[in-house]
C-alpha cells in the first residue's frame, strides 16, 4: 500500500491558492481513479483506490499546512507503513509554475509542511513530488501572501494532469522510471 498525501490548507478560503496545489493534485487523481476522498481519519480526508493492483490511500491533511506531519505520521502508524510507502505532493516556490521535480528524499527547502512531516517521521527519506508555483513577480510581495494568493485554473491545469500522471507512474512503475519521465519536463 502507498499513502499519497497532498499538502494544503482546509477551508474554502484556501481552495484555489498556490499553497493548495497538493490538494488539487489529489482531487485530480481521485477523479481519474473514481475515488471519493471524503472519509475523516487521522486528521485527514482520505479515500482508497487502486493503481493497477497496488492499493493506495489518497489523503489531504486537515491540520493546516504547518502541522501536516501530525496527520501523515498518524496515517502511517495506523496502517503500520514506513516512510518508504509515502508520496507527498506539494507546492514549490523555487520551480517555475507547472514544472515538476520528483525526488526520493531531500530537505524541506523551507516548506513548513515538509518540515513538519520530516520532524514527525524523523527522516527525510520519502518520495516527494514538487509542483512549481514560481516566485511572485512583485519584488516586495511577502511569500505568505503569494502562496495564499489565487491561481488561474487554466494556468495550472496541465501541471495538475502531469502531477497526477507522475504519482500514478511512481506507484505503477517505480520511482526511478517516474523521475526519468517527469523530471525532464
Candidate list 19, 28, 111, 128, residue with the active-site label: 19
Q: Are 111 and 92 in contact (CB under 8 A)?
A: yes
CA distance 126 to 123: 8
Q: What does the block give as the cell for 37?
A: 476522498
Question: What counts of helices (H) and strands (E) characterise the chain?
Answer: 6, 7
19 is catalytic: yes
Q: Are 55 and 48 in contact (CB under 8 A)?
A: yes
DSSP-derived letter for residue 113 is H
| Residue 61, H or E segment | strand 54-61
52 phi-psi bin (left φ>0, alpha ψ -120 to 50, beta other): left
Q: Are 25 and 6 in contact (CB under 8 A)?
A: yes
Catalytic residues: 19
Amino acid at each position: 500500500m502507498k499513502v499519497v498525501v497532498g499538502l494544503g490548507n482546509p477551508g474554502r478560503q484556501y481552495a484555489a491558492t498556490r499553497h493548495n496545489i497538493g490538494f488539487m493534485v489529489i482531487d485530480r487523481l481521485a477523479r481519474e481513479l473514481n475515488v471519493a476522498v471524503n472519509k475523516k481519519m487521522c486528521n485527514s480526508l482520505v479515500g482508497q483506490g487502486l493503481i493497477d493492483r497496488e492499493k493506495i490511500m489518497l489523503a489531504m491533511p486537515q491540520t493546516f499546512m504547518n502541522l501536516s506531519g501530525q496527520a501523515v505520521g498518524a496515517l502511517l502508524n495506523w496502517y503500520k507503513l514506513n516512510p518508504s510507502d509515502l508520496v507527498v505532493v506539494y507546492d514549490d516556490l523555487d520551480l517555475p509554475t507547472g514544472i515538476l521535480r520528483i525526488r526520493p528524499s531531500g530537505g524541506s527547502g523551507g516548506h513548513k509542511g515538509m518540515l513538519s512531516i520530516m520532524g514527525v517521521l524523523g527522516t527525510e527519506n520519502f518520495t516527494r513530488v514538487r509542483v512549481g508555483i514560481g516566485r511572485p513577480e512583485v519584488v516586495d510581495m511577502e511569500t505568505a501572501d503569494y502562496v495564499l494568493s489565487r491561481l488561474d485554473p487554466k494556468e495550472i491545469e496541465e501541471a495538475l494532469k502531469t502531477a497526477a500522471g507522475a504519482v500514478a507512474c511512481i506507484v505503477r512503475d517505480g520511482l526511478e522510471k517516474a523521475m526519468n519521465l517527469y523530471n525532464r519536463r
